[in-house]
């Protein structure tokens, strides 16, 4: 999902030219970048949180704090009074992005404002496989897809960060998905509104605050993630039996005969969540054996094999995915990474260039090529990809590395050619 693009202000509805104070951790941009954008649109920013400010913006990186119940707001009675009277406006981070014009039109698919799964994973410090599972399960949704590669917009950054925070609290991915599904019955659209809700985690319990009430998974006050729901017993038993029997190929095939392809894919994903990688890989192989070649299944299996340390086996699965679907640019990009790791540098570069042939604006691939070409002392060619990467992903987690690389080269050039640009006598 993409962070706000500082140059993208055409859709801005504008902000008041008052004094802004930023409170808490921000999920989208850093506070420094946020302050700069407020100033660019005529606002003033202060580090002092007192009754002299006009607007207080509460960051959304911490899912346990409500915008109206942040502990810092209750320390100063005059501040609290000014908020209650309306003298000071209290807004959340998302509202600020909307006023700054950083949450674009739903049909705006400018990928310079969007994040690939790898970028989003790096930003959140979670495995890329986790981001892909969130996507597959509908917990985060891409703004657009280009040749199977999903791109996530700014709103999904906050949704994804909320999910990451819940996982950090000790809630497993399967528990999270199951309980969010339960909450959908009482709070429709909760998966898509997760970042806008106040999420309270107590141990392994999760409560959502809407208005003045707390909603749990059965429409009452709380629920226990350890509790087993009768409606889920059949699915859970099936998943457990599949997990236990997964070391036996015949047992897996027997279980698979009673499951649809979608159910098998879900079972494999659950096994991955429980870190039962060998068992999950066997389920993917069973799907391929039972239903024939499929690019997406080959791709998932390749990623799983790589996580298991079987890079050569992963390489063959990426090749298989591309043979079925030559447009599968993420498979081409990952193939290049595996080839490079295996020491096949030229083949890796060829794979990455192949990905760019189908999707020239694939920022991740420009980054891979830039790094690889630098290591091969092909700095001139590498510079072109560093520059292209910055044009496409100026706010990505790796943008600063690209800027430093280009600045260093610029300094070296000045030292070698101190008179460049001078008028000849």
19-100 CATH: 3.40.50.10190
Q: Is the pLDDT of residue 326 over 60?
A: yes
Tell which wins on pLDDT, 207 or 335.
335
Residue 152 pLDDT class (50, 70, 90 cuts): confident
Task: Choose from 202-216, 270-284, 406-420 the range with maximum mean pLDDT.
Answer: 270-284
Q: Tell me, what's the pLDDT at 312?
A: 96
């998932």: which residue's tokens?
300
Q: Is the pLDDT of residue 309 over 90?
A: yes
Q: What is the 3-state secondary structure (H, E, C) of 217-228?
A: CCCCCCCECCCC
Q: Tell me, what's the pLDDT at 156?
A: 80
Q: Is the pLDDT of residue 1 over 80?
A: no
Q: Is the pLDDT of residue 85 over 50?
A: yes
Q: Region 265-294: what's the mean pLDDT?
A: 87
Contact assessment for residue 282 and residue 249, using Cβ atoms and an 8 Å cutoff = yes
Contact assessment for residue 225 and residue 179, using Cβ atoms and an 8 Å cutoff = yes
Residue 144 pLDDT class (50, 70, 90 cuts): confident
Contact assessment for residue 120 and residue 134, using Cβ atoms and an 8 Å cutoff = no
Q: Tell me, what's the pLDDT at 78?
A: 84
Rounded to an integer, what distance in angstroms lies between the CA atom of residue 313 and that of residue 302?
A: 7
Q: Region 26-45: what's the mean pLDDT?
A: 79
Q: Tell me, what's the pLDDT at 52?
A: 86
Q: Region 165-182: what's the mean pLDDT?
A: 71
Mean of all residue pLDDT scores within the chain:
75
| Percent of the chain whose predicted confidence (pLDDT) is above 70 | 66
Q: Tell me, what's the pLDDT at 354?
A: 95
Q: Tell me, what's the pLDDT at 360?
A: 93
End-to-end CA distance of the chain: 54
Tell which wins on pLDDT, 134 or 331.
331
Residue 103 pLDDT class (50, 70, 90 cuts): low
Q: Tell me, what's the pLDDT at 264?
A: 86
Residue 228 pLDDT class (50, 70, 90 cuts): very low
DSSP string across 30-91: -HHHHHHHHHHTT-EE-S--STT-SEEEE-SS-TTS-TT--GGGGS-HHHHHHHHHTSSEEE
Tell which wins on pLDDT, 361 or 111.
361
Architecture of domain 111-228: Orthogonal Bundle (1.10)
Q: Tell me, what's the pLDDT at 240?
A: 43
Q: Is the pLDDT of residue 243 over 90?
A: no
Tell which wins on pLDDT, 234 or 284.
284
DSSP string across 154-177: HHHHHHHHHHHHHHHTT--HHHHH
Q: Tell me, what's the pLDDT at 204?
A: 52
Q: Tell me, what's the pLDDT at 48?
A: 84
In degrees and rounded to multiples of 5, residue 346 shows phi and psi of -65, -40
Residue 175 pLDDT class (50, 70, 90 cuts): confident
Rounded to an integer, what distance in angstroms lies between the CA atom of residue 15 and that of residue 1?
A: 24
Residue 161 pLDDT class (50, 70, 90 cuts): confident
Tell which wins on pLDDT, 407 or 355.
355
Q: Region 43-71: what's the mean pLDDT?
A: 74
Where are the chain's structural domains?
A: 19-100, 111-228, 361-417
Q: How far is CA 120 from CA 123, 281, 352, 356, in A?
A: 5, 25, 20, 20
């030229």: which residue's tokens?
346
Range with lowest mean pLDDT among 171-175, 270-274, 353-357:
171-175
Q: Tell me, what's the pLDDT at 244?
A: 37
Tell which wins on pLDDT, 57 or 189.
57
Q: Tell me, what's the pLDDT at 194?
A: 54
* pLDDT digit string, tens, across residues 348-364: 999 999 999 999 999 99
* pLDDT digit string, tens, across residues 291-301: 899 999 999 99
Q: Is the pLDDT of residue 90 over 50?
A: yes
């909450």: which residue's tokens?
183
Q: Tell me, what's the pLDDT at 238?
A: 45
Q: Is the pLDDT of residue 112 over 90?
A: no
Q: Region 233-256: what's the mean pLDDT?
A: 50
Q: Is the pLDDT of residue 397 over 80?
A: yes
Q: Tell me, what's the pLDDT at 421?
A: 41
């Amino acid at each position: 999902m993409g962070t706000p693009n500082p140059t993208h202000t055409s859709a801005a509805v504008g902000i008041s030219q008052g004094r802004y104070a930023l409170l808490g951790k921000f999920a989208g941009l850093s506070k420094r970048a946020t302050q700069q954008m407020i100033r660019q649109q005529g606002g003033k920013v202060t580090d002092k949180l007192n009754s002299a400010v006009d607007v207080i913006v509460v960051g959304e990186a911490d899912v346990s704090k409500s915008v109206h119940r942040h502990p810092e707001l209750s320390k100063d009675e005059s501040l609290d009074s000014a908020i209650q009277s309306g003298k000071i406006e209290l807004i959340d981070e998302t509202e600020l992005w909307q006023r700054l014009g950083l949450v674009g039109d739903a049909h705006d698919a400018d990928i310079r404002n969007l994040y690939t799964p790898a970028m989003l994973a790096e930003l959140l410090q979670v495995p890329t496989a986790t981001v892909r599972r969130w996507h597959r399960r509908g917990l985060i949704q891409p703004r657009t897809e280009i040749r199977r590669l999903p791109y996530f917009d700014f709103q999904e950054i906050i949704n994804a960060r909320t999910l990451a925070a819940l996982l950090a609290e000790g809630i497993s991915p399967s528990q999270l998905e199951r309980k969010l599904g339960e909450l959908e019955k009482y709070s429709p659209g909760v998966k898509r509104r997760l970042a806008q809700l106040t999420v309270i985690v107590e141990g392994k319990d999760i409560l959502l605050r809407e208005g003045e009430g707390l909603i749990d998974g059965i429409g009452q006050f709380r629920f226990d993630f350890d509790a087993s729901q009768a409606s889920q017993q059949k699915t859970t038993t099936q998943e457990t039996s599949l997990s236990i029997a997964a070391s036996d190929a015949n047992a897996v095939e027997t279980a698979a005969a009673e499951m649809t392809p979608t159910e098998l894919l879900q079972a494999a994903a659950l096994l991955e969540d429980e870190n039962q990688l060998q068992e999950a890989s066997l389920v993917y192989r069973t799907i391929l054996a039972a239903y024939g070649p499929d690019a997406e299944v080959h791709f998932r299996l390749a990623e799983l094999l790589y996580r298991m340390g079987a890079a050569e086996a992963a390489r063959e699965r990426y090749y298989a995915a591309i043979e079925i679907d030559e447009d599968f640019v993420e498979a081409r990009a990952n193939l290049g990474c595996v080839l490079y790791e295996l020491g096949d540098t030229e083949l890796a570069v060829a794979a990455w260039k192949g990905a760019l042939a189908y999707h020239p604006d694939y920022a991740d691939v420009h980054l891979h090529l830039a790094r690889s070409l630098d290591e091969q002392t092909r700095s001139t060619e590498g510079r072109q990809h560093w520059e292209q990467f910055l044009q496409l992903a100026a706010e990505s987690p790796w943008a600063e590395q690209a800027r430093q690389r280009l600045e260093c080269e610029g300094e070296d050039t000045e030292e070698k050619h101190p008179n460049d640009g001078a008028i000849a006598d």
